[in-house]
């Protein structure tokens, strides 16, 4: 009898030990897996694949409009902004946030009111069927101006994603064609809890490319609206001429800049001098503060919609880096400076344990400028709720600002301490 009990207890104890083994992101092995086995398990369950549809449909009417946009005081740009309304005055850069739940059927009816340019929409990071992927001449024909087009797909994986045009992508994204796609997890406990969230889009552009009558550096100045198709075609034609004349091999005489016929459709040259740096469509001091709850937890979804790497530094706190490209990391890590590249997303969590006004800015000095003048560009502040009234009183457009006071300066708070 004793022996039978002993054997029973032995088996149970080994099994109990195994139950306490390492947690992997995939179904748990009886023992902690080797790195190779861990990778194999993860590959069997890529994020989002096989998600259970919710049975819900979220429909969005997404328009594209021409708009003017003040980037920083005195600097106005002509851009293309998305809107959920056909009223062009509601267009914004970045475009509207589309927020759905993982497993929802997402339906986006797209219509551009900007004459003469084609577009598509790409759902960066989402596992869509390929015919919904938005790549011109590969997965679809581009959508002409004025023509309706509908995208539909089951949202997956969960996390922070974004949508943008994929026709002449660098140019059209610079014009403003991007917005956030936030896919909530089905299980709210999947993400660490937070008290407040903010989405921060990073971007750079050539302000002068987008000014009326002043095309990009390197192209001939042209009069008239650079955004109408006739003007664009004129620049294309001029470029073809230039390409065959400007530089030739000194020995053989053959043109060293070839014609543009390596592909059925190529776009006018786009040579960008990046002199303007944006967070959520504005440059300092016109960036919006990120209001932070005293003693609470702030989640920031950071998206690089530009063409450059950025090195974002937060004063006074370390950030907990929790998600990469929408997916929760098994092993989050602390950082006070976050390096992020074009297309990437990082979610970070910050605990509000140090009340104050804290700079959050690109540590790349070139990018803290408006047209080479500092301060400017990719700079904003985390402002604690307890200091909100002071800072808001000084914000752009306030009487304090009109009186020449620094919009970011505490009225007297920093004299304390």
User: Restricting to residues 281-310, which ones interact with a second copy according to CB under 8 A?
Assistant: 284-286, 297, 304, 307-309
CB-wise, 56 or 217, nearer to a second copy?
217
User: The dihedral of CA 343, 58, 87, 199: what is its sign?
Assistant: negative
- List residues bridging with 360 in a β-sheet: 314, 380
Of 60-68, 84-92, 107-115, 371-379, the segment contacting a second copy by CB under 8 A is: 371-379
CB-wise, 55 or 402, nearer to a second copy?
402
User: Restricting to residues 74-113, which ones interact with a second copy according to CB under 8 A?
Assistant: 74-75
| C-alpha–C-alpha distance, residues 179 and 157, integer Å | 17
- List residues bridging with 175 in a β-sheet: none
Tell me the closest approach of the beta carbon of residue 141 to a second copy, in angstroms: 8
The closest of 227, 219, 369, 201 to 288, measured between CA atoms, is 201
Identify the residue whose tokens are 């797909």.
Answer: 153
**Residue selected from 54, 101, 186, 311 as contacting a second copy according to rule CB under 8 A:** 311
Tell me the closest approach of the beta carbon of residue 22 to a second copy, in angstroms: 5
b vs e for 199-238, b when ≥16 Cβ sit within 10 Å of the residue's Cβ?
Answer: bbbbbbbbbbbbeeebbbeebeeeeeebbeeebbeebeee
CB-wise, 22 or 59, nearer to a second copy?
22
* Coil, helix or strand at residue 41: helix
Tell me the closest approach of the beta carbon of residue 177 to a second copy, in angstroms: 12
Query: What are the tokens at 354?
Result: 């140090």
**Residue selected from 52, 212, 244, 245 as contacting a second copy according to rule CB under 8 A:** 212
Q: Is 203 in the site for a second copy (CB under 8 A)?
A: no
CB-wise, 261 or 389, nearer to a second copy?
261
CB-wise, 32 or 86, nearer to a second copy?
32
Q: Is 364 in the site for a second copy (CB under 8 A)?
A: yes
Tell me the closest approach of the beta carbon of residue 278 to a second copy, in angstroms: 14
**392 Rama class: left (phi>0) / alpha (psi -120 to 50) / beta:** alpha
CB-wise, 112 or 126, nearer to a second copy?
126
How many chain residues bind a second copy (CB under 8 A)? 172
Tell me the C-alpha to C-alpha distance, in Å, between residue 288 and each of 84, 182, 284, 386, 398.
Answer: 22, 20, 9, 17, 14
Q: Is 198 in the site for a second copy (CB under 8 A)?
A: no
Residues 6+ apart with CB under 8 A from 93: 67, 69, 79, 81, 176, 178, 281
Query: What are the tokens at 237?
Result: 């034609």
CB-wise, 85 or 257, nearer to a second copy?
257
CB-wise, 83 or 132, nearer to a second copy?
132
CB-wise, 61 or 354, nearer to a second copy?
354
**297 and 228 in contact (C-beta within 8 Å)?**
no
Tell me the closest approach of the beta carbon of residue 219 to a second copy, in angstroms: 10
User: Restricting to residues 375-414, which ones interact with a second copy according to CB under 8 A?
Assistant: 375-376, 381, 404-410, 414
Provide the mask over 9-28, with x wherever binding to a second copy is found by CB under 8 A and - wherever it is not.
xx-xxx-xxxxxxxx-x---
The closest of 343, 289, 298, 296 to 320, measured between CA atoms, is 298
Tell me the closest approach of the beta carbon of residue 94 to a second copy, in angstroms: 16
| C-alpha–C-alpha distance, residues 252 and 232, integer Å | 33
The closest of 156, 173, 179, 198 to 326, measured between CA atoms, is 156
* Coil, helix or strand at residue 365: helix
Provide the mask over 234-273, with x wherever binding to a second copy is found by CB under 8 A and - wherever it is not.
-------------x-xxxx---xxxxxxxxxxxxxxxxx-
User: Restricting to residues 122-181, which ones interact with a second copy according to CB under 8 A?
Assistant: 122, 124-125, 127-133, 135, 137-140, 157, 168-171, 173-174
CB-wise, 105 or 335, nearer to a second copy?
335
């Amino acid at each position: 009898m004793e022996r039978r009990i002993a054997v029973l207890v032995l088996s149970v104890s080994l099994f109990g030990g195994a139950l306490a083994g390492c947690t992997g992101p995939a179904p748990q092995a009886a023992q902690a897996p080797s790195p190779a086995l861990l990778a194999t398990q993860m590959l069997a369950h890529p994020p989002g694949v096989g998600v259970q549809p919710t049975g819900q449909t979220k429909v969005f009417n997404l328009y594209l409009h021409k708009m003017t946009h003040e980037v920083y005081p005195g600097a106005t740009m002509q851009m293309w902004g998305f809107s959920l309304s056909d009223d062009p005055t509601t267009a914004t850069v970045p475009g509207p946030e589309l927020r759905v739940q993982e497993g929802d059927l997402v339906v986006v009816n797209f219509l551009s009111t900007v004459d003469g340019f084609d577009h598509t929409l790409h759902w960066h990071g989402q596992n869509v069927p390929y015919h919904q992927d938005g790549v011109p001449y590969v997965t679809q024909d581009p959508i002409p101006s004025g023509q309706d087009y509908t995208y539909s797909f089951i949202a997956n994986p969960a996390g922070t994603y974004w949508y943008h045009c994929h026709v002449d992508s660098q140019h059209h994204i610079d014009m403003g064609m991007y917005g956030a796609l936030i896919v909530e997890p089905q299980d709210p406990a999947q993400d660490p809890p937070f008290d407040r969230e903010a989405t921060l889009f990073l971007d750079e552009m050539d302000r002068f490319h987008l000014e009326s009558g002043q095309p990009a550096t390197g192209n001939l100045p042209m009069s008239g609206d650079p955004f109408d198709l006739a003007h664009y075609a004129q620049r294309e034609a001029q470029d073809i001429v230039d390409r065959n004349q400007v530089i030739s091999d000194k020995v053989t005489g053959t043109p060293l800049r070839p014609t543009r016929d390596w592909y059925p459709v190529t776009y006018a040259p786009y040579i960008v001098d990046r002199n303007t740096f944006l967070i959520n469509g504005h440059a300092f001091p016109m960036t919006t503060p990120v209001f932070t709850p005293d003693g609470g937890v702030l989640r920031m979804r950071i998206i690089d919609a530009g063409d450059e790497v950025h090195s974002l530094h937060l004063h006074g706190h370390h950030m907990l880096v929790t998600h990469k490209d929408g997916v929760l990391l098994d092993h989050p890590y602390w950082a006070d400076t976050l390096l992020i590249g074009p297309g990437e997303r990082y979610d970070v969590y910050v605990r509000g344990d140090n009340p104050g006004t804290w700079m959050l800015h690109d540590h790349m000095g070139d990018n803290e400028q408006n047209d080479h003048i500092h301060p400017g560009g990719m700079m904003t502040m985390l402002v604690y709720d307890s200091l909100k009234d002071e800072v808001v009183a000084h914000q752009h457009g306030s009487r304090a600002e009109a009186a020449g006071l620094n919009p970011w300066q505490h009225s007297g708070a920093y004299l304390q301490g």
